[in-house]
Chains A and B, each alone.
Chain A
Amino acid sequence: MKKELSLDEGKAPCDKPIDLLAELRSTPIKEHGVIDLLGIAAFFLVITPLLSTHRITDFMIFCIFAMSFDLLYGYMGRLSFGQMLYLGTGAYFCGLFIRYVSGNPLLAILAGIAFAGFLSMLLGLIIVRTTGACFALINLAFNHIGFFLVLSPLRGITRGEDGFGVSASKFGSLSLTSRPIMFGFVLLCVLLVFYVLRRLTSSPYGILIRSIKEDETRVRFLGYNTFYYKWLTFVLAGSIAGLAGSLTALNYSYVNPNAMDVHSNVGVVFACLIGGAGNLYGAIVGGVVYMIISNLLPIYIYRWEMFLGFSLIIIVFRFRTGVWGYIQRSWEYLVKRKVVPGAMKKEAI
């Protein structure tokens, strides 16, 4: 087994550790970049009156998680069945920080992100070597282990199954326990994450990880240390998941092992499938759709899980690029009369 731990391995200039900030700075702001953000903000503001502020905040937090998952799955092509581990870690450390260190919500969020990121750094070193089913299952295994840890051995700190309350103090004059303020704050986070990921994925880094998804061996032959980039992406995804977790803790003022529930991974996979993997907009759309389905569907359709199952099967066998991708292509076709050959059907070979 190759040991790819040395970060400075390889001699090619493209091999130097990426300075993400430099990447961010270097990619030009696309003209419609700002419009994207306004569009997203407007979207969430518009649907809020339909449900409640609290619910939509929930949706938005899930969208952040979905975007982090999509980075890993859609852009880099690695399906993980254990991202909830990082969300849960973020939630717990945010909560513990407030409980034992300081009530400052911003610092608590940073703590959540930091610990989730740190965990993903450590585990990433092992996990990122694997691929395919191995990758999915090893993440699942760690998620399971994490869930068990907070449930049982660490019960002294985490209060096990009961969980514990989280009461953040005010930040300046703003209190995050106020629903509208929380809403606004989370919305800002969504926009920030979207913006950052959008810039990153259109930067050379983004192209690189997409190339790794296509054909990793070739990228390695070009001199890139693919291990490093995979690891980096993993850490990014874990950290953003940690952000989502911290926000969850603050939003509910409560943390319990459900924050690390293995079964919840299905939701985010489903969201990216619906939205179309590898598409940040898709992640948001998929996130919202999944939230609507899982929150509202049970009210109207008693056997919603069965319905969900059938829908998943239909999507998998018919809508490869996700429902959103299908809508996008239909839009292009109808409006711009642009037909991408073979786009609507599966390829022949």
Chain B
Amino acid sequence: MIYTIFYGLTIGAILYFISIGLSLTFGTMRVINFAHTITYTIGVYILITFVNFLKWYFPLGAILAILTVIPIGYVIERFIIRRLYGESLDYTFIATFAVALIGVDAIKWIWGVRPYPISDPIGTYLMFWGLSLPVYRIIIVIIAILLFFGLNIFFKRTIVGKIVVAALEDKDGVRCLGISVDKYFSIVFVLGSALAALGGVLYAPISSVHPYMGLSVLLLSFAVVIVGGMGNLNGTFLSAFALGMVMSITARYWSQGAETMVFIVMAIVLIFRPIDI
């Protein structure tokens, strides 16, 4: 049972990394980005290229992968997302989906369709109350918690963070105070993309890597964001871990139903708390 909880926390942490960007992009720009997990996938493939082929250290490879993803995120924001401000939902869906389509095909083109395995970079276990818990997973959860506090500090203490918080509530008000909000929103977008890549990079050793991995995670992170509230960072934190636990516990009793359970939860939440977009 402890393992179940522990694995639930791990999945929750990964979901958290990925969902932050989605939640922020929605909260600030009111754009639902179907291409959000493309940086997740690209980050992983770049990591694999560095680690498996160039034999670099995992942490170094991870950091480089995330850095490489940043300009990609910028390009997506600049050419696609920015044009979708205030657009109707169907168009943002389709435009961002198109980006995802292009991205996945590009990945297939460069790296092929075959899944790449990548192993646990630490491989050791921590002995804890008679149980052996993989250190790697512990680190993931710790990073998630650190990130949570880090983001809180960012949004509560820095001026950029405060501008974003203000703009989330009253975008026109911020504009009328002379601040070009779009610039800050694109910073937020790139940050979200980088965090998604972080999630991918950390998850890669314990999951399967293939070009479509982004899509399965995307749907799950939609669920996280909906349950937690769009644009609500604390809510995203809680719902990521809650849904991670749901998946883990469901997997224990009914191995294939884990993802479906998440969708059932999402559907229930949507029924009782429909969002107005």
**A positions within 8 Å CB-CB of B:** 1, 73, 79, 81, 126, 129-134, 136-138, 140-142, 144-145, 148, 151-153, 263, 266, 269-270, 273, 277, 303, 305-306, 308-313, 316-317
Q: Which of A73, A142, A312 lies in contact with B97, CB distance below 8 A?
A: A312
Decide: B256 and A148 in contact? CB cutoff 8 A: yes
Can you list 13 A-B contacts with CB-CB less than 8 angstroms, sorted by A residue number? Answer: A79-B93, A130-B270, A133-B89, A133-B277, A134-B276, A136-B93, A137-B270, A145-B260, A151-B256, A306-B109, A312-B94, A313-B98, A317-B95
Decide: A152 and B83 in contact? CB cutoff 8 A: no
Decide: A309 and B102 in contact? CB cutoff 8 A: yes
Given contacts A133-B89, A306-B106, A316-B91, contact A138 B277 (CB under 8 A): no
Is B120 on the interface with A (CB-CB < 8 A)?
A: no
Name the A residues within 8 Å of B257 (CB-CB): 148, 152-153
Chain B: residues with Cβ within 8 Å of the partner, total of 39
Given contacts A130-B270, A133-B32, A134-B277, contact A305 B104 (CB under 8 A): yes
| A-facing residues in B97-114 (Cβ within 8 Å) | 97-102, 104-106, 109
Decide: A137 and B95 in contact? CB cutoff 8 A: no
Name the A residues within 8 Å of B123 (CB-CB): none
* Cβ of B39 to closest chain A Cβ, rounded Å: 16
Decide: A312 and B263 in contact? CB cutoff 8 A: no
Decide: A306 and B219 in contact? CB cutoff 8 A: no
Is B127 on the interface with A (CB-CB < 8 A)?
A: no
**B positions within 8 Å CB-CB of A:** 32, 80, 83, 89-91, 93-95, 97-102, 104-106, 109, 215, 219, 222-223, 226, 256-257, 259-260, 263-264, 266-267, 270-272, 274-277
Name the B residues within 8 Å of A148 (CB-CB): 256-257, 259-260
3 closest cross-chain pairs (CB), A and B: A309-B101, A309-B102, A312-B98
Q: Which of B104, B223, B276 lies in contact with A132, CB distance below 8 A?
A: B276
Tell me the bound Cα distance from A142 to B267 in angstroms. Answer: 8
Name the B residues within 8 Å of A126 (CB-CB): 271
* Cβ of A326 to closest chain B Cβ, rounded Å: 16
Name the A residues within 8 Å of B277 (CB-CB): 131-134
Name the B residues within 8 Å of A152 (CB-CB): 256-257
Tell me the bound Cα distance from A131 to B275 in angstroms. Answer: 8
Tell me the bound Cα distance from A81 to B90 in angstroms. Answer: 10
Q: A73-B90, A269-B90, A309-B105 are in contact. List 18 more A-B contacts (CB 8 A).
A: A79-B89, A79-B93, A129-B274, A133-B89, A133-B277, A134-B275, A134-B277, A138-B267, A141-B270, A145-B263, A148-B257, A148-B259, A266-B97, A305-B101, A305-B105, A310-B102, A312-B94, A313-B80
Tell me the bound Cα distance from A311 to B102 in angstroms. Answer: 10
